[in-house]
Amino acid sequence: MTGNRGQRREGKPRLTWPEAASAALGLAVLTSTLGVLGYDIVAGGRAPPAVSVRAEAVRETPDGYLVGIVARNGGDETGASVRVTGRLLREDGAVAETRATTFDYVPAGSERHGGLFFEADPRLFDLRLAADGYVAP
């Protein structure tokens, strides 16, 4: 029976090699997806956003000073509307100036760059940066 490739033989359809390879690939993808989802369910919940903030360079601008900042999310989930506040503290602990900005999104495991504008030179004060909060997207 030559030339009967892909035709019925004893009532059963016969797969060609591309069809069999496609079916095997589909089964592998499905099995992998179910495995990852199962692991995520069994391994426990995901850690909420854990945003830390650090200062980069201070630059003088025509209207004051710009402090470059980096917000890093070490958590497993994205933080939306992440509010970052910068405070300039005097030696006695009094707040000389406060500025804030908001990052639209800080995805898990990523960094976002921004800046805070101050009237006073931040290098002459104790600069404190903090992520104040976020919204779940």
Residues 14-33 have pLDDT tens digits of: 888 888 889 889 999 999 99
Give the whole-angstrom CA distance, residue 25 versus residue 20: 9
* pLDDT of res. 4: 54
DSSP state, 95?
Answer: E
* Pair 56, 69: CB distance under 8 Å: yes
Helices (H), the chain: 17-43
Q: What is the pLDDT, as a whole number, of residue 6? A: 52
Structure tokens at 34: 């179910």
CB-CB contact of 134 with 49 (8 Å):
yes
Q: Quick one: average pLDDT of 42-63? A: 88
Q: Phi and psi at residue 84, in whole multiples of 5°?
A: -120, 130
Q: In what order do the strands lie in the sheet with 64-73?
A: 51-61, 64-73, 111-118
pLDDT higher than threshold 70 for residue 2: no
CATH tag, 51-135: 2.60.40.10
Least confident of 32-36, 70-74, 91-95: 32-36
Does this model's pTM top 0.95? My answer is: no
User: 68, 9 in Cβ contact below 8 A?
Assistant: no
pLDDT tops 80 at residue 105 = yes
Whether 126 has a pLDDT exceeding 80, the answer reads: yes
Cα angle value 52/107/116 (rounded, 5°):
50
